[in-house]
A and B are shown apart, each in its own frame.
Chain A
Amino acid sequence: NAGVTQTPKFQVLKTGQSMTLQCAQDMNHEYMSWYRQDPGMGLRLIHYSVGAGITDQGEVPNGYNVSRSTTEDFPLRLLSAAPSQTSVYFCASRPGQGYEQYFGPGTRLTVT
């Protein structure tokens, strides 16, 4: 199993550009989540999904959209990038409620 994969590994955007961060898992996990990690802030939940077709907002959802059309994929869309969205983004998955969470390798995003 590849586990949780994320692409791209690095990305530089200009303010106002849009892009999609890709996340996929091959473990048939129902739950998937997106976090951002900033210095001094810890990991913060952006959006999450408890199954295909079901998504919900986390702690910091503004400026981001998600969809979950398949169990495997959970892309994160930045609608109009802002410098405040410069961060490291981690996708994570787990089989269900109460289980261990597995993280992808992260995407380092810089918005200039």
Chain B
Amino acid sequence: RKEVEQDPGPFNVPEGATVAFNCTYSNSASQSFFWYRQDCRKEPKLLMSVYSSGNEDGRFTAQLNRASQYISLLIRDSKLSDSATYLCVSRGNTDKLIFGTGTRLQVFP
């Protein structure tokens, strides 16, 4: 079983839609979590960290549920430019980052 698991998608949504991705992690010792965005054939870039109380950055909201060991990313009012692969990442007590395989989002006009 992978330490961080994501639905690979693709999620095909129209502009303006709300879309949510979930990610589960198996290591209960994981200390912090992130969402990275990766455009096609580009490097991953940090989208946002995920805090226990949940956090929002514009149209993006991240949530962490430690009891059920999952994190989520909600994107409101989707834009064409949101089309990308979203990587769920955990950091354990060794400080190493564990990456999920990514969820692909395609926003269409």
> Contacts A42-B87, A42-B102 known; A90 to B43 CB distance under 8 Å?
yes
When the two chains form the complex, which single residue of B41, B46, B96 contacts A58, counting CB atoms closer than 8 Å? B96
In the bound complex, residues from chain A placing their C-beta under 8 Å from that of B44 are: 43, 90, 103
> Contacts A58-B96, A97-B95, A98-B95 known; A41 to B43 CB distance under 8 Å?
no
Tell me if A45 and B95 are in contact (CB < 8 A): no
Tell me if B99 and A43 are in contact (CB < 8 A): yes
Count class of interface residues, chain B: 10 to 19
Bound Cα distance A100, B43 (Å): 14
> Contacts A42-B4, A42-B87, A42-B102 known; A105 to B43 CB distance under 8 Å?
yes
Contact with B along A25-41 (1 / 0, CB 8 A): 00000000001000011
| In the A-B complex, the 5 residue pairs with the closest CB atoms | A103-B43, A43-B99, A42-B101, A42-B99, A97-B95
